[in-house]
Structure 1
Amino acid sequence: MKNETILDVKGLKTQFQVGKNKIAKAVDGIDFHINKGETVAIVGESGSGKSITALSIMQLIPSPPGKIVEGSIELDGKDLLKYTEKQMVATRGNDVAMIFQEPMTSLNPVFTIGTQVSEPLIKHKKLGKVEAKKQTIEMLKLVGFPRAEQIYHEYPHQLSGGMRQRAMIAMALTCAPKLIIADEPTTALDVTIQAQILDLMLDMKKKTGSSILMITHDLGVVAETADRVVVMYAGQVVEMASVKELFVNPKHPYTVGLLNSMPKIEEDVERLESIPGMVPPAHSFPQGCRFAPRCKHAMDKCTEALPELVEDGKNHEVRCVLFDGSGKGVSHV
């Protein structure tokens, strides 16, 4: 049986005006898809374009200075880029919902948790306040609040970071959306709470049948949660594969660098490896391969033309001159 695609992003380009004459190509022609019930992670360093991809899907790019200039974003077969603002307001929170990185800045400090979590039910499901309150309390219990009735009447500042993130997850899940976008949902939390939140998200995904797009720089989170991985660098996809394939057989030098920077239980090393240099600014990408200035395998031809994203092995795509699509790699000696 063929997998049912929930999200299909094709040729997405999101740009920002920087000063008078510079254009920042924050997201520069990316393609990926998410199937029903699947968790796909987008990974990469800060500045790679991960969060801008998420905001583009939600149509939350600040304009000006930002603008989606090309591509399509199909949610369940319908292109969101053709939606009016009124249609997007009806879609956000109902068909697609987002869990933001820092709940303290995402939750409104002057409204109670109950008011904010119940808002999607009242707005999208047209429930009365009594029924919305009942369902909200049930959802708060579902995401692990032991005293949901009390939490309903409390304000964000009265909750811990982990509890606020649970409230954000409850808000995202109230309407059982087809797609949940989680942008660094555990970054501000300690490791114990982080594990609880990730377990909660995966458990809720099974119960609701939602798909998840996980935006993260933490490969440990990816290993625990994702089915497939999209590696982004300088606004482009440089590698895509299943999570097992990516960890066992990484191909792009950037992916290898990210994996080598992770601590490993079985290895005792004084200093972890790091990737030299930084992600180039989006308004001045180098010619050719954008990773070439930081890559130890770089050759002259790497700076001549931008490599294409090719399928090199079953369901494994990579953007690098070391791979030609044969699955065997290319000699670079």
Structure 2
Amino acid sequence: MQSPQVNKEPSTKALEDQLLEVNGLKTNFYIGKGKVVQAVDDVSFSIRKGETVALVGESGSGKSITSLSIIRLIPSPPGKIVEGSIRLEGKELLTLSEDEMCKVRGNDIGMIFQEPMTSLDPVFTIGNQIAESLMKHKKLKKSAAYKEAIELLKIVGFARAEEVIKEYPHQLSGGMRQRVMIAIAMSCNPKLLIADEPTTALDVTVQAQILNLMVEMKDKFQSSILLITHDMGVVAEVADRVLVMYGGQIVEEAPVRDLFIDTMHPYTTALLKSIPNIDVDLKRLDSILGTAPPAHDFPRGCRFAARCKHVMEKCLEENPTLVEIKPNHKVRCHLYEHQGGLYSE
């Protein structure tokens, strides 16, 4: 299989504090009979050192595939990164060999997957799974790795860490397994932590604990976080900046405060209106009409057009580009025909 087309030109955003730069990323899945699923289509964003960036959107919008593309875990076949650039502190990840990429995973980039029960190996103890990462990336001997594993478990909130390292995943609750995943992800002090729906299927109290723990660990190890979620409440709680994804593309990007106060894209507006508000007495929450278009059959124009209350003729013919409307606030929408304001006609 051919290598992806890599953008060779350095980004103008490549500043000293820049950690991750994703430019023009395109990831396709080839599902037979000539069908191409454009799971990620021309996605560009950056993450600064010490920053928490939330990637939000409905299921199927391309969030998880974006994260798997960054760490190059796209199953091939049927998937393939066909174009773009992914740079970590200026190092192009798409041109690394698999052996080189294995050193990046876990060492430079840690990953917390969506479901800890399937991410943890059921036949190995907790201690074995944490120690494995330490022995591989830090080159520790087994005894030293287990000793550090115990300390990591204590850091993530286990009072009886010495007993937990001898237990198996099925002996722990969902919240405890997620804490183990965080311990594994942070074991080598990664520069970037990718958390894919880390609080899914956990009760509200445990969700808050896990989020607080992630922030504490980020501060302790001076890492950055890419948080993938569909929960706007979580976004408001922990994010510095937000990327809203729909139909495989970024449709809005803004600092978290700007996104909630001065929402621009109709899709983002609809997402925020679907959140319960204790200060407003509503009998029924707003919902977004229709469903997202299938990734193998995107419409010709704007991908949100069929569900948008502000649709115009141009929306049906031309897919808008992501443009900066005001400092640090970008939107992909024909309502904003030029930098500085709403469509006036």
- TM-score w.r.t. the length of structure 2 is 0.95
**Residue from 41, 60, 67 that aligns with 1:28:** 41
Identity across the alignment (%): 65
Aligned to 1:188: 201
Any conservation in 1 of the 2:134–2:188 contact (CA below 8 Å)?
A: yes
Aligned to 1:93: 106
Which stretch shows the higher mean deviation, 111-120 or 318-327?
A: 318-327
**Residue from 214, 233, 236 that aligns with 2:246:** 233
Any conservation in 1 of the 2:21–2:46 contact (CA below 8 Å)?
A: yes
Which stretch shows the higher mean deviation, 3-12 or 213-222?
A: 3-12
List per-residue Cα deviations over 1:78-129 (Å, max 9, x = no partner). 1110011111111110000100011000000000000101111100110011
Q: Distance in 2 between matches of 1:302 and 1:328?
A: 17
Q: Distance in 2 between matches of 1:29 and 1:221?
A: 26
Alignment length, in residue pairs? Answer: 331
Aligned to 2:173: 160
Any conservation in 1 of the 2:323–2:339 contact (CA below 8 Å)?
A: no
- Pair 1:246-2:246 in alignment: no
Q: Distance in 1 between matches of 2:337 and 2:216?
A: 40
- TM-score w.r.t. the length of structure 1 is 0.98
Gaps of 5+ in 2: 1-14
Q: Distance in 1 between matches of 2:296 and 2:104?
A: 32
Any conservation in 2 of the 1:101–1:188 contact (CA below 8 Å)?
A: no
- Pair 1:121-2:127 in alignment: no
The alpha carbon displacement at 1:3 in A equals 5.9
**Residue from 119, 123, 144 that aligns with 1:110:** 123
Any conservation in 2 of the 1:312–1:324 contact (CA below 8 Å)?
A: no
Aligned to 1:138: 151
Aligned to 2:308: 295
User: Structure 1 stretches (4+) deviating beyond 4 angstroms?
Assistant: none
**Residue from 56, 62, 67 that aligns with 1:43:** 56
Any conservation in 1 of the 2:244–2:268 contact (CA below 8 Å)?
A: yes
Aligned to 1:215: 228
The alpha carbon displacement at 1:133 in A equals 1.1
Gaps of 5+ in 1: none
Matches within 5 A, 1:252-331: 252-331=265-344
List per-residue Cα deviations over 1:14-60 (Å, max 9, x = no partner). 00012221100000000000000000000000111000000101111
